[in-house]
Amino acid sequence: MTYIDDFRDHALKINDDKKIQIGLGAINKPGVMILLLVREKDLAGKPVKEEDYERAWFRLSNEETNQTLDYKLINKIDRPEDYQPYVETETEDTPPVHNPLTYVHGRLLLDESGVWVFESYQHCFQERDYPDLVGLLGDLHIKSVQEVNR
C-alpha cells in the first residue's frame, strides 16, 4: 500500500489531493478484506470554510486502465439524523467531545476463487453510536468467514 500526497500536475490540482494505491496482485490469501473508509478530523479552531470540502469525494479506480469502479461525493452521503459535531460528556465540568463521522465507502474482498469483489456501501456512522466501528466491522467479517468455512 502506498500513500501519495500532492500527485497531480499543479495546473490540475484540486485542493489537497491525496491517493492511496493498493497492489492487489500481491495479496493472494482468500478471505482478505480491505475496508475503504475516511474518518473525519476535528477542525475546531482551524480556519476552514464549508465550501472547501464540497467537492471532497471517494473514487475507486483501476490505475492500469484508469477505469473508475465507484465514485461518490462525500457531501451526498446522508449523515445520521441526530448527528451533532460535539456531544456533552457525563460530567458538567468536562467540555463537549468531538463526535467524528466515519464514511464507509465499501470493502474489497478476495473470494475463494481468487477474484476481488467490491461491495459499495457509501454509509456514514457517528462515533457516539459506534465507538469501535472498525472493530465491529472486522468482527462481522471474521464471523462471516467462519460461517462459510463450516
124, 80 Cβ separation under 8 angstroms: yes
Which grid cell is 72? 461518490
What pLDDT does residue 136 have? 93
145 band by pLDDT with thresholds 50, 70 and 90: confident
Q: Is the pLDDT of residue 11 over 70?
A: no
Task: Using alpha carbons, list the distances in angstroms from residue 44 to 40, 47, 88.
Answer: 12, 8, 16
Sequence-ordered list of residues with C-beta below 8 angstroms from that of 32, at least 6 positions apart, any chain: 109, 110
Sequence-ordered list of residues with C-beta below 8 angstroms from that of 132, at least 6 positions apart, any chain: none
Express each pLDDT in 54-105 by its tens digit. Answer: 778 888 998 889 899 999 999 899 999 999 989 988 888 888 888 999 999 9
Computed over every residue of the chain, the mean pLDDT equals 85
Sequence-ordered list of residues with C-beta below 8 angstroms from that of 54, at least 6 positions apart, any chain: 73, 75
Residues 13-41, buried b or exposed e (16+ Cβ, 10 A)? eeeeeeeeeeeeeeeeeeeebebbbeebe
